[in-house]
Every structure is written in C-alpha cells, then in structure tokens.
C-alpha cells in the first residue's frame, strides 16, 4: 500500500511511536491523518485531525468509525506496559488491563474499520507488536502475554481480511526510545527510525517487518534448539 494520498487513522497518536507515525504520514503525502488519543487535547501536531479514541471504549470506537469513513490505513499503535510477572501482587488485574488495550483494542478497531477499508478499496491494517511477542522475562511477563496474543490476532486477521484485499502488516521491534522504556538503561531505536522502516515495508507490500537486528535474531531463534524462548533472560 502506498502512503501517498492515503487517509490514515492512528491510535495512541499523542506521543512516542504513534506521534512519529503521524509525522511520517503527513510527510509522506497522506491525504488526511486522524490522530486518535484518549485525550485529544494533548495532540498538538499541526495538520492532523485530532479525535477522541480510547480503544477500550466501544462508544469511542463506533464514533471514530462513523467520523472517519474515508480511512484507507488503520494503524493500531495504542498500547500499555505494566512491569512485572504473574506471581506479583495485582498481576491478574494488570493482565486484564493490558489485554483490554493491547489485544481487544486492535481487535475492536479492526472489526469496526474492516467494512470501511473494504469500501475504500482494501487498504491496510498495521499492528505495532514487539519482540515480547516471542520472548519474555520476569519483568515483561504480563506485557509479553498481551503482545503474543496481539501477534496471533494479527496473523488471524491477515487471513480473514485477505479476501477483501486488505494488507495486514505486523511490526516487530526491540526497544524503542519512548515513555514506556524511559527507565530502561539499554540501547533503543528512535521512533522516527522505527516508523520509517515500517512504512517502507508497508509500501513494499510486506505482511511482517522485523525492524531491527534484535527482532531478526529473536525471530530466527524461535526454531533453534533449544528455542530462544526457553533460554533464561541474560544468560
């Protein structure tokens, strides 16, 4: 799918990767960019159409689908991360919250916009995933479950939407320099770099993009013996 003249809707567009997608879409010749956020007043990027979009609220999703009936590219970017594993206090509640945002958010948005994409020629859905879809650690246990589920969702939607000509692209990446990783003292990619590589893959018609070397190594390691997901973190 080409970005030139596309009409783009981005969830979680007020900061981080979502904001970088909005900037890149405007710079890449998109006809219109809808920037969704729980608090649209926080969206200050000139040139976008700010909309209220909390991906956990069905009314927000329905209103967005009605307002943004010209969308040809849906970017499911909104996400959250709660540090910790499943044996920690409060882990069940944290897992439910993450699944609501990281799994059911993209599911409900895609269901709402699938007819719109079909009516507008097929278009594309781009899901922001993570290396945490494949590997985890005690501090990323809950987040990893939500992203693994989102990866499975992406793969399922790809098959379901193929008949209507909708491209579904899953984006996997290591650590990105955003608010979610601010406290982590590790190498990180700039959001603009991540977005540029992802949109290049989108325009090439790809169904999956491994943005950095970390993602490529981990994906390759899934078929290793033992599988990379069986190896203790930092070993």
Closest C-alpha among 16, 35, 131 to residue 75 = 35
CB 35 within 8 A of CB 14: yes
Q: Decide: helix, strand or coil at residue 37.
A: strand
CB 125 within 8 A of CB 157: yes
* Complete edge-to-edge strand list for the sheet that includes strand 32-37: 49-52, 32-37, 7-10, 73-76, 124-128, 167-172, 208-210
Catalytic residues: 143, 147
The C-alpha torsion from 158 through 54 and 136 to 126, rounded to 10°, is 30
């Amino acid at each position: 799918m080409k970005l030139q003249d596309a009409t783009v809707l981005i969830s979680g567009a007020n900061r981080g990767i979502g904001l970088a997608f909005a900037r890149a879409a405007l710079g890449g010749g998109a006809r219109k960019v809808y920037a969704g956020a729980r608090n649209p007043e926080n969206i200050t990027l000139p040139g976008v159409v700010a909309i209220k979009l909390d991906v956990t609220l069905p009314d927000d999703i329905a209103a967005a689908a009605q307002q943004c009936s010209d969308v040809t590219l849906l970017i499911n970017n909104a996400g959250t991360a709660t540090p910790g594993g499943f044996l920690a206090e409060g882990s069940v509640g944290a897992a439910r919250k993450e699944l609501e945002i990281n799994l059911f958010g993209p599911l409900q948005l895609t269901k709402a916009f699938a007819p719109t994409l079909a009516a507008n020629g097929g278009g594309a859905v781009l899901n922001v995933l993570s290396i945490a879809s494949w590997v985890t650690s005690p501090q990323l246990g809950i987040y990893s479950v939500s992203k693994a589920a989102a990866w499975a969702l992406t793969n399922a939607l790809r098959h379901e939407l193929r008949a209507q000509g909708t491209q579904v692209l899953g984006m996997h990446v290591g650590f990105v320099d955003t608010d979610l990783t601010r406290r982590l003292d590790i190498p990180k990619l700039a959001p603009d770099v991540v977005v540029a590589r992802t949109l290049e893959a989108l325009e090439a018609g790809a169904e999956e993009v491994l943005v950095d070397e970390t993602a490529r190594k981990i994906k390759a390691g899934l078929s290793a013996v033992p599988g990379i997901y069986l190896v203790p973190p930092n070993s």
